[in-house]
Amino acid sequence: MTGYDIVLVGLQPYDSDIGTNTINIAEEFSKQNRVLYVNYPLDKKSFRLDKHLPNVQKRAKMRSKEIPNLLEVKPNLWNLYPNSLLESINGIPLTSIFRIFNYFNNKKFAADIQEAINTLGFKDFILFNDTVMLRGFHLQEFLKPKMSIYYTRDNMMSVPYWYKHGRVLEPILMAKSELVCANSTYLAEIASEYNKNTFYVGQGCDISAFDPNKQVEKPKDIAHLKGPIIGYIGTLFTLRLDINILKEIATHPSNWTVVLIGPEDEVFKRSELHNLPNVHFLGFKESSELPTYLKYFDVAINPQILNPTTIGNYPRKVDEYLAMGKPVVATETKAMSIFKDHTYLAKSAEEYVSLIEKALIENSPQLEAQRIKFARSHTWENSVKEIYKAIQIVNPNIN
């Protein structure tokens, strides 16, 4: 699909320190189309309470016209910082009342976007909405795009803030969109209940830094460790990880060493795992360091706890593990079903132990090569190609 104008709204600003699917998708879109990436609008309460933050100070300068709020960040890619301040309305208890105020918030937000569209000369554009279910609920009506796409990539209903009014509004938004795209089979299954034009489009992952053939020295803080290393990389957050699984692995009567890389929440900091001699907490590491540590793992794990937050989320870390050819043992979820031929999926803490044993025994250069090939198929280019295919199925006039 080439030569189109695309307006993309997301929950994170383009200049965010946190990576997001929306930015990757926007940059991939912009290789063949003109793209306007719209940052999330601020509300009056946030603007007042967070005025000391650099990003809010930046917005203040844009509102006073000291610096422009529409920037060209790459060829064919512009970033809009909406200047309007929206009313802070999520505290309204009744969704019926919330919807009245939300309509006017949407109208202000849409006016900012329309001004940028006019400035850039966008015509017959496609609207791509990345889970902006509240402040983006009416954009389709106000902006009148050629096509409206809703993109679902996280189970937002597991978060109280979004559930409060989103449980009513998101299904309606999905239903009135011409197309819904999902990055996990679980989320696609949910969305298909509201819109028959729902497509699983996969997930991209930048694995360019994860090169299994790169020769690197073993990091000093694990150089002394003996026995097979069973490792995890990521935030140690009890909302997402099952401490009991880690305890089961660490107390198994074997010579396994457990290495955990990432910042901890308070529950992890107080856990008895810190008292086990074969468990090593290495703390936060720069992203550039992670492939080096992963290279020396014998088995990589993703011990997710099963809850509404985790059951449908796409685990990007598994792609990174596989890109290094590592055997992976992970909790079985619906989102993990696409990995079933290349990972070991556990339903319990006990199964983690037996599957780690199996992974250590079965590993081979042939299996490593298969894992690497599979991980390398999960690129943003391939994911966006699936989005293009879905668009053309729903609207054959777009090509």
pLDDT in tens, 214-273: 999 999 999 999 889 999 999 999 989 999 999 999 999 888 999 999 999 999 999 999
The string of pLDDT tens digits covering residues 160-209 is 899 999 999 999 999 999 999 999 889 999 999 999 999 999 998 888 88
Q: Is the confidence at residue 154, as pLDDT, over 90? A: no
The amino acid sitting at 91 is G
* Angle at the Cα of 361 from the Cα atoms of 360 and 363, rounded to 5 degrees: 70
DSSP state of 218: P
In the chain, what percentage of residues exceed pLDDT 70?
A: 99
- Within the chain, which residue ranges are assigned CATH 3.40.50.2000? 5-204+379-394, 229-376
- Pseudo-torsion of CA 110, 116, 117, 119, nearest 10°? 150
The string of pLDDT tens digits covering residues 29-86 is 999 999 999 999 999 999 999 989 998 999 999 999 999 999 999 999 999 999 999 9
**Minimal CA–CA distance to 138: which of 163, 90, 114, 173?**
173
* The pLDDT of residue 68: 96
Give the separation between CA 212 and CA 217, rounded to whole angstroms.
13
Q: CATH: 3.40.50.150, 3.40.50.2000, 3.30.300.130, 1.10.150.530. Which one for 229-376?
A: 3.40.50.2000
Average pLDDT, the chain: 94
Highest CATH level, class, for 5-204+379-394: alpha beta
